[in-house]
Structure 1
Amino acid sequence: MSQPTAVPSRPDAASPADPQELAAALEATGYLPDEGLATAAFLALAMHRPLFLEGEAGVGKTALAHALAEVTGRPVHRLQCYEGLEASQALYDWDFGRQLLHLRAAEAAGEGADTATLEAGLYDRRFLLARPLLQALEDSPSVLLVDEVDRADDEFEAFLLELLSDYTISIPELGTVRAEVPPLVVLTSNRTREVHDALKRRCLYHWLEHPDFEREVAILRRRLPQVTEDLARQVARATAKLRSLDLLKPPGIAEAMDWATALHTLGARELDPDTAARTLGAVLKYREDTDRVHALTRGALFG
């Protein structure tokens, strides 16, 4: 096996000096973290450790990775996990179509006599299709977002753990690739199943709660400046009430933003019971949840 090839890195943006400076930088991008999340993200950057984020869907796990990429000036490479995800789909694959065209062109040019040379040419770097994991190592320094890792299989978890141990990838035909600067890895989980302890031990861990009332109002006002203060506060208050119910899918920040946008689009100046009932599709995504809310006294819930 050849020696690992270190990928040259681009100049990285100046790293924040402390969690408070990182929080301020994130706020400038429109992402408002609490003190605990800002500290966890700062430590992940400073210690070159993966950051494992768990929490309900819609609390801002994925958005944090994109905000960190903006703050640090790094490209972000996102791997969306799903059941049956294989290493080749996450790592790299060979472009068989281009290889075949290369083979036919070589044969037509009379270059097929030297079989060894021809075969070696088929596994040139230009025929390699880099997937997110390899892209994150080659595009150094970068942000690697492994989204919804809880949806992947146990086998993929084991493969990912090996990758995160030394940030190298072995390509039998080409050698080993190693990032000069380890990517900032953000793993997210909606906790549809428990992720193995071995992977969690490799990471810094943070559980994301739904924001408190004042912070959610601040998020709505920052991300949706066209929405009035009063409407933002009413949406945040109503969304908190919905989260207190036994719903299949409690609304997250993204749904609260959709709801506020829908109300603004309709020209609503306040969230009254009738308008709330007509726009529930912006904040609730399951029929059972909608039916449950409709069955309650709307005035008591949204008044």
Structure 2
Amino acid sequence: MAQQVASEIAHVRHFTNTEQVAQDLAGMKYLADNATSQAIFLADALAKPLLLEGPAGTGKTQLALSVAEITGSRLIRLQCYQGIDEARALYEWDYRKQLLAIQRSEDDDVSNVFSEDFLLSRPLLDAVRSEEPVVLLIDEVDQLDVEAEALLLEFLSSYQVSVPELGTVQATRTPLVFLTSNNNRELSEALRRRCLFLHVDYPSPEREREIIAARIPELSDQLTGRIAETVAALRNMDLRKNPSVSETLDWAQTLSLLNVTEITDEVVANHANILLKHQGDIELIRSELAPTS
């Protein structure tokens, strides 16, 4: 691996070209198209965060998990939610430990309790302080409100975290950073311009057939093709939540376990609760597939 040092941050590249990315992901049974492989290669080569945006269930999170395993990196995950604050995303002080230190102190000087010994790292600071390779997954960033989103900007710009009592904590090596968004709200331009961008959509029927075949090879080519076609048709319906890739795989595994060799309307109706997780969607599908008298 080539090593480059810029602004005192070691940049260790994991991939030599786009083809290596695709091959390594395929080894993890994650079948990436050229746009995905290229985006990961460039994020690694340029040391830039990669924003993955698209519908829920298209494999965005799994992509980051696969890259962490491929590169042998430590995975650090920040699961975003409404109301998250600095103490959950960046760091907080160990107040109990500080209080004990003050009580044991023989003088009134409390400045020593604001040292790294009393600092609790949360995901962003943890990624900065890590001495081993890191893949940082900032998952569902669109769940944050605008104020909380601003907490990410310094880190995304320069891989550093400012702690007023200590100064700036700078990463010693660049982490690979993935942000995922289900596009539930528009992200700020400030965040977007700090990242490379990749839209991740549902795979085409042919690509999904290949994914099924890679994960569940015991199924026939004909059956995997019919599964992919059926799921694609469901996604074109007016559903509250389309079937995800993982739900497609769950259904394919179900068909294998039950020794189903042919997909009929009755099979789809009976298994609707595996592909769909809202009762309204299940009832819609079953009514569409119900035999007419």
TM (norm. structure 2) is: 0.89
| Matching residue of 1:66 | 65
| Matching residue of 2:3 | none
Instruction: Pick one of 266, 284, 300 that aligns with 2:276.
Output: 284
What whole-Å deviation, never above 9, does each CA across 1:98-123 have from its counterpart, x for those lacking one? Answer: 3344455x2xxxxx32221xx24433
Q: 1:84 to 1:7 in 2, by over 3 A?
A: farther
Once the two structures are TM-superposed, the CA of residue 8 in structure 1 deviates from its matched residue by: 8.7
Classify the secondary structure of the residue corresponding to 1:42.
Answer: helix
2:128 matched to 1:129? no
Instruction: Give the aligned residue type for 2:17.
Output: D
| Matching residue of 2:44 | 45
2:2 matched to 1:28? no
| Matching residue of 1:259 | 251
| Matching residue of 2:95 | 96
TM (norm. structure 1) is: 0.86
Instruction: Pick one of 189, 193, 197 that aligns with 1:197.
Output: 189
2:199 matched to 1:207? yes
Q: 1:100 to 1:230 in 2, by over 3 A?
A: farther
User: Matched residues in 2 for 1:95 and 1:84: separation?
Assistant: 21
| Matching residue of 1:3 | none
User: Matched residues in 1 for 2:183 and 2:135: separation?
Assistant: 22
Instruction: Give the aligned residue type for 1:131.
Output: R
Aligned residues: 285
2:149 matched to 1:163? no
RMSD of aligned Cα (Å): 2.3
Instruction: Pick one of 86, 101, 114 that aligns with 2:107.
Output: 114
User: Matched residues in 1 for 2:232 and 2:194: separation?
Assistant: 34
Instruction: Pick one of 242, 251, 268 that aligns with 2:260.
Output: 268
Instruction: Give the aligned residue type for 1:171.
Output: V
Instruction: Give the aligned residue type for 1:262.
Output: T
Structure 1 stretches lacking a partner, 5+ long: 1-5, 107-111
8 Å Cα contact 1:168-1:177 kept in structure 2: yes
User: Matched residues in 2 for 1:260 and 1:291: separation?
Assistant: 21
| Matching residue of 1:187 | 179
Instruction: Give the aligned residue type for 2:233.
Output: K
Classify the secondary structure of the residue corresponding to 2:77.
Answer: strand
8 Å Cα contact 2:266-2:289 kept in structure 1: no
Classify the secondary structure of the residue corresponding to 1:31.
Answer: coil
User: Matched residues in 1 for 2:220 and 2:42: separation?
Assistant: 36
2:286 matched to 1:294? yes
Q: Give the fraction of aligned pairs with identical amino acids, expressed as a percent.
A: 41
Relative contact order (C-alpha < 8 Å, sep 6+): which is higher?
1
Once the two structures are TM-superposed, the CA of residue 159 in structure 1 deviates from its matched residue by: 2.1
8 Å Cα contact 1:263-1:279 kept in structure 2: no
Structure 2 stretches lacking a partner, 5+ long: 1-6
Classify the secondary structure of the residue corresponding to 2:51.
Answer: strand
8 Å Cα contact 2:154-2:161 kept in structure 1: no
